[in-house]
Amino acid sequence: MAGDDPKTLVSTDWLAAHLDDPDLRILDASWYLPDMGRDARAEYLAAHIPGARFFDIDEISDQRSPLPHMAPPPEKFISRMRAMGVGDGHQVVVYDGAGLFSAARVWWTFRLMGKTDVAVLDGGFPKWQAEGRPVEDMPPVLRDRHITVSRQAGLIKDVTQVAAAAKLGSHEILDARSPGRFAGAEPEPRPGLRAGHIPGARNIPYRSLLGPDGTMLPPEALREVFAAAGVDLSKPAITTCGSGVTAAIINLALERIGKHDHALYDGSWAEWGMYGDLKVATGNDG
Spatial contact of 269 and 240, defined as CB atoms under 8 Å apart: yes
**DSSP reduced 3-state for 131:** coil
Q: Which amino acid is at 233?
A: L
CA 66 remoteness from chain centre: 20
pLDDT digit string (tens) for the chain, length 286 residues: 458 999 999 999 999 999 999 999 999 999 998 889 999 999 999 999 999 999 999 999 999 999 999 999 999 999 999 999 999 999 999 999 999 999 999 999 999 999 999 999 999 999 999 999 999 999 899 998 999 999 999 999 999 999 999 999 999 999 999 999 999 999 888 888 999 999 999 999 999 999 999 999 999 999 999 999 999 999 999 999 999 999 999 999 999 999 999 999 999 999 999 999 999 999 986 5
Considering the candidates 155, 241, 253, 254, report the single residue annotated as catalytic.
241
Angle at 50 between CA 113 and CA 61, to 5 degrees: 30
Q: Kindly list the distances between the CA atom of residue 228 and the CA atoms of 2, 239, 259, in Å, as whole numbers in the listed order.
A: 21, 17, 17
Q: Are 211 and 9 in contact (CB under 8 A)?
A: no
> Rounded to an integer, what distance in angstroms lies between the CA atom of residue 255 and that of residue 241?
18
Q: List Cα–Cα distances, 234 to 200, 218, 230, 241, 271, in angstroms.
A: 16, 20, 12, 22, 27
250/122 Cα distance (integer angstroms): 14
Report the predicted TM-score, pTM, of the whole model to 2 decimal places.
0.97
Domains of the chain in start order, with CATH, are 9-151 (3.40.250.10), 154-272 (3.40.250.10)
- Is there a catalytic annotation at residue 241? yes
d(CA 7, CA 45): 27
C-alpha 38/C-alpha 99 separation (Å) is: 14
CB atoms within 10 A of CB 220: 9
